[in-house]
Amino acid sequence: MQLRCGTQILDLSRPMVMGILNVTADSFSDGGSHLDPQRALAHGVRMAEAGASLIDIGAESTRPGADAVDAAEQIRRAVPVIRALVNRLRVPISIDTSQPEVMAAAIDAGAVMINDVRALREPGALQAAARTSAAICLMHMQGEPRTMQSAPRYTNVVAEVGAFLDERVRACVAAGISRDRLVLDPGIGFGKRLEHNLALLAALPELCRRGLPVLIGVSRKSMFGELLGRPVDQRLAGSLASAVTGVLAGASIVRAHDVAESCDALRVVEALYQAGYARPAMNPESQTTKGRT
């Protein structure tokens, strides 16, 4: 499986780690640590050296209860870091935003992927993404970051998340975005209780059978606080267990804070594949949809 990121082609025949680089003041895990551009650059370089295949830069926290950050401030925070990393590294850069102005500025600065927790539903976002050649990650979120964890409810979380992502893929294709640029993310922790998150992780093979790459973001999530009773800085074991389980179920990309440890875990998975462990089956229909727009 391949992902088109601008002029680059990302080979997803092996699982990859997307390193998280927050240039924010209030992210739940590392808010404020990399707000300074030089510190952000240094951290991005360290993640690339540790094995990150992608680096995802976000200038607005999407943790529960987070305040919104306007497009101009997101651009001020993110664009200098993107330019610096593009000049320093060969690793593809992703912009984590829902705002069309930020998408455009980030792509102009050298980013080749858009990671949108709102799946291009903000006014103008779908059109802005379609004007680029960037890859796009479509994530499911119930509600908005400030209130998404107040009372999330589903009748059937797996079916509802799947239907939402199917609809967003259709919207992208109708806007002229080819399927080989799309990635799906079930949105673990975004408007979901522990039981919803576990149900989605258990059902990842169903999501993967849609024939598009799947990204999972489980790093240090609050579900591990509830499940294991661990604070944010002690959730590595839970994060790695979920990441490995997700990749064995078919996920192609793991979004992570702890890049070196995550890369080690996925190398073990890759060694198992090379030793004969059966890879998850691809949806047969996907074989006939390559290149379809």
**Where in the sequence numbering do the catalytic residues fall?**
221, 255
The whole-angstrom separation of Cα 244 and Cα 251 is 9
Cβ–Cβ < 8 Å for 46, 89 = no
The β-bridge relationship of strands 182-185 and 215-217 is unpaired
Dmax over CA atoms of the chain, in Å, equals: 50
CB atoms within 10 A of CB 243: 26
Structure-block tokens of residue 288: 């006939």
Q: How far apart are CA 44 and CA 60, in angstroms?
A: 17
Can you tell me the distance from the alpha carbon of 93 to that of 45, in angstroms, rounded to the nearest whole number? 12
What is the Cα–Cα distance from 72 to 226, expressed in whole angstroms?
A: 36
Integer Cα distance of 121 and 140 in angstroms: 11
Specify the DSSP element, H or E, that contains 122. none
Helix 259-274 × helix 37-50 angle, to 10°: 20
Find the helix or strand (DSSP H, E) in which 275 lies. Answer: none
CA-nearest of 106, 75, 109, 112 to 92 is 112
Dig out the tokens for 22 from the structure: 């927050």
Contact 177, 136 (CB under 8 A): yes
